[in-house]
Amino acid sequence: MLLLFFYTAGAFANVNLTPIDTLTTDSTFAVAKMDMRPYVTVSVSESNNDLPPEVFQYQPEIFHDSPQNNGQVNDCWLRLIVKNTSKQDVSYRFFAGWHDYMYWFFQLPGQPVQQLSATGLMLDNGGVERWNHYAFHIQVPASQTITYYLHIINKSYNENPLVPILYNEETYGSFHDVQLDSFRKEAVIIHVLLGMLLVFFSISIINYIQLPDKSYVYFAAYILGLILFFALRLESKPFQLSFFHKWPMLKYYWDVPGLLFCFYLMYLLFGNTFLNLKERYPFMEKVFTWVAAVVGGLIVLCMVCISAEKFHMPTIIYGYVYFLTLAPLLAVFIALARRSRHHPLVRFFLYGSACLYLACLGSFLLQVKPMGLLGALGELTAPTMLLMGGVLLQAMFFLAGLSYRNKLVHLERTRTQELLIKQLNKNKELQRKLNEQLEELVKEQTTEILRKKQELEEQRKIQLETEYDKKLTEIELKAIRAQINPHFIFNCLNSIQLFVMQRDYEYAQKYLSDFSYLIRKTLDFSRRNFISLSDEITYLNTYLGLEKMRFENRMEYEIVVDPEIATAELEIPAMLLQPYVENAVKHGMTNPKQPTGQLKIFFNQIAPDMLECVIADNGIGIARSKALRTLPKHHQSSGMEISQNRAELLNKMYRTDIQIEIIDKSLEDESNSGTIVKIFIPQL
C-alpha cells in the first residue's frame, strides 16, 4: 500500500494541469490519487443551496493547498463531469477539504439536479463518522455521463485548504489512516492538557472549601473556561471524538469569546483579588475593574456577532484588544515588578503572566508569515504547542501562588493563635482578680438586697393599708350614692303627684316619661364613679325641663359651656352637681320679689387641668332660707351635705382636690338675693 501511495503521489506531482472539460474514464483508467483542478470548473455567482448556477468557468486561483484568510465569505460551486466509456462501473472518492458548509449534488443528462448529502464543520453532528462525510462518493455506471456539483460555503474568513482530489477506495483508506495518525498526536496532547487542567480545577475547589477566597473562585472559573476551550478544539481535529459533537456551532461561540474570557476577564479579576489591589494599589484596582467590565461587554458583543453569522467580527475585535493591551500589560508588569520585593505574591503572578504573554506572542509571530496579520490572530483559536505550554505554565504558577498564599494565611493564623493564647493567659489572671472583686461586691450587694427587702416589706404593708382604705372609701361612696337616689326620687314623685292633683294629665304623662328616663340614667350613673360632661349636661337639661313644667313656666334656666371644652372627652364625678342644682331650683324659685326664677349653670375651663362649674340663682338666699324653713324636724334635706361628703371621699380615694364654694349674694349686697355655688373639678 505504501509503494502504491508513493507511485500515485509521483503521478500526481507530474499531472498535466491543462483544463479539460470532462473526466473520461475507460478500461485503462486506474488512478489511485488524482488532482482534479484541471477538470473542475467553478462558479462564484450567488445562488441558493438547491440549484447550481448556469455559468461555470476555470478559476484555479480559488484553490489553495494551505490555510488562508479570504477577507470575505467564500460561497462557490464546483462542477465535475465524469464520463464512463468502459463497460464496468467506476467508483471513486471526491475530497476537497474540511469546510463550514458542503452540499453534494448530481445530475443525469436531461434530468433535474438532486442532492445526495450535506455536511460541514458548522452543520454535521454525526459523531466520529462525520469525518467520512467529507469524501463524497462518485459512482458512474458503464457508458454513462454524470455531472456532480459541490456547493462550498465558508463563512469564516480563515479557510482550510481547498484542493479537489480524486481517490480510489484503497488510497482514500491510506489517506484516512495518515490523517488519523497526524491529528491523533495533537489530540493526545490536548487530552493530557485537559487532564492536568482538571487536576488544577479540583485542587482549587478543594482549597476554596478549606479557605473561602474569591481568588480560588476566579482561578477555578479561568481553568473551567480553558477546559471548555481546549475540549472544543478537539471538535475541529478530523477523525477525533469530541465531547460536544452534537453541537457543531458551540466551538465557534467559544473560540474568540473563550480567549477573551480566560486570558482577559478572568485574568484581570483573578489578579485583582490575588494581589489585593484594592488595599495595595487602588488606582490599578480601578483600572483592572473597568477593563474587566469592558471585556465582559466585548464577550457579549462577540457572541451576538457569531449568532448573526458575522464570524470575522470577533477576530477583528480580538485583534484590537490584543494589540491595544500589549503596551498597557507591559507597563503593569513593570510596575508590579518594582514592588515584588515587598509583595512576594507578585512574583508568581508575573511569572505566570510572562509565560502566557510570550507564548501568545510567539504563536502569533509563527502564523503571521503564512496567514497574514488578521489570519494569524484568527489562528490563535487553534492553539499551537507553544500556546498550550504557556497556558499550562501560567496555571502552574498561579496555583503555586495560591498555595503560597495559603501558607501565608496559615502562618498568619498561627501567629494570631499564639497572640490569642498569650492574651488568654492574661485574661485568666484578670478573671481571677475580677472574681475576687466580684465576691466582695456580691457580699455588699447581698447586704444591700436584704436591706431593700426589708424596705419593700414595709412598703408592701403600707400599700396593703392604702388599698384597704381605698376599698373602704369606695364602699362609703357607694353608700352615699345610694342616699342620693331616694332623695331625688322623692322630690320627683312629689312633682308628679302635684300634676295629678291638678288633673293636668297631659303634663303628668310627659313628666312621667321624662322622669322614667331620669330614673334609668340615675340608676346607671349611681353604678359609675365618673361620667362624661356631655352626659351630665344632658341629664341636667332633662331634669331642669321637668322642673320648669312643674313650676308652670315661672322658671327660666340656661346652661352655658365654654367652647374650648371637649365635653365628650372630659369626665366629672357622677351625680355631683345634681344636688346643688336641685337645691337651687327648690329655694331659688320661691323668691316673692322675683316673678320668674332664674337659674344659670356655667362650665368654664379656667386652667388646662381645672374645670369650674358655677350654679347661680336669684332665689331668697341661704340665710333667709334657713330662717323660713318650715319642714318637720324629722325631715332634713341632706343632698348638699351628701355631695360635700362625696367630694371629700373622691379627694381621698383618687388623691384629687375637688373644691366646693357656696356664696350668698345678700351678704355682699342686701339689695341682691340668690346663691352662687362654685365647684372646681381637676381633670384626672
CA distance 355 to 396: 10
Tens of pLDDT, residue by residue over 435-474, are 888 888 888 888 888 888 888 888 887 776 666 566 655 6
CA distance 653 to 468: 11
Mean pLDDT, range 75-85, rounded to an integer: 92
Banded pLDDT at 6 (limits 50, 70, 90) = very low
Mean pLDDT, range 307-335, rounded to an integer: 86
Written as nine digits, the cell of 656 is 384629687
Axis-axis angle for helices 639-654, 578-588 (nearest 10): 160
Among 140-154, 358-372, 494-508, 533-547, the range of highest mean pLDDT: 140-154
**Residue type, position 678, single letter:** K
- Angle at alpha carbon of residue 302, lines to 355 and 385, rounded to 5°: 30
Q: Exposed (0-12), middle (13-18) or buried (19+): which is 661, by Cβ within 10 Å?
A: exposed
CA distance 602 to 679: 10
User: Among 49-53, 371-375, 614-618, 674-678, which stretch is predicted with the lowest mean pLDDT?
Assistant: 371-375
User: Among 89-103, 419-433, 628-642, which stretch is predicted with the lowest mean pLDDT?
Assistant: 628-642
Q: What pLDDT, on the 0 to 100 scale, is given for residue 293? A: 94
Q: What pLDDT, on the 0 to 100 scale, is given for residue 12? A: 39
User: Among 215-224, 636-645, 670-679, which stretch is predicted with the lowest mean pLDDT?
Assistant: 636-645
Q: Could you identify the residue written with the cell 494551505?
A: 66
CA distance 305 to 230: 22
Q: How many residues does the chain have?
A: 684
Q: What pLDDT, on the 0 to 100 scale, is given for residue 5? A: 38
Element (H, E) at 310: none
Architecture of domain 23-167: Sandwich (2.60)
Model-wide pTM > 0.75: no
Alpha helices in 372-384, H assignment, sequence order:
373-378
CATH of domain 553-628+636-682: 3.30.565.10
Q: Above 80 in pLDDT, residue 508?
A: no
Q: What pLDDT, on the 0 to 100 scale, is given for residue 632? A: 47
DSSP state of 510: H
Q: What are the domain boundaries of the chain?
A: 23-167, 180-416, 553-628+636-682
The C-alpha R_g of the chain, in whole angstroms, comes to: 58
Banded pLDDT at 487 (limits 50, 70, 90) = low
Q: Above 50 in pLDDT, residue 546?
A: yes
Q: What pLDDT, on the 0 to 100 scale, is given for residue 101? A: 92
Mean pLDDT, range 278-296, rounded to an integer: 89
pLDDT > 90 in the chain, percent: 23
Mean pLDDT, range 55-79, rounded to an integer: 88
Average pLDDT of the chain, as a whole number: 82
Q: What pLDDT, on the 0 to 100 scale, is given for residue 3? A: 36
User: Among 475-479, 575-579, 673-677, which stretch is predicted with the lowest mean pLDDT?
Assistant: 475-479
CA distances from 160 to 63, 67, 236, 250, 564 (A): 10, 5, 11, 19, 101
For residue 293, the tally of other CB atoms under 10 A from its CB is: 12
Number of H helices, E strands in the chain: 19, 19
Written as nine digits, the cell of 307 is 449568532
DSSP reduced 3-state for 454: helix
Tens of pLDDT, residue by residue over 628-652, are 665 444 444 455 677 777 777 777 7
User: Among 163-167, 402-406, 610-614, which stretch is predicted with the lowest mean pLDDT?
Assistant: 402-406
Residue 93 and residue 168 in contact, taking contact as beta carbons nearer than 8 Å: yes
CATH classification for the domain delimited by 180-416, as one of 1.20.1070, 2.60.120, 1.10.8, 1.10.287: 1.20.1070
DSSP per position, 343-371:
-THHHHHHHHHHHHHHHHHHHHHHHHHHH
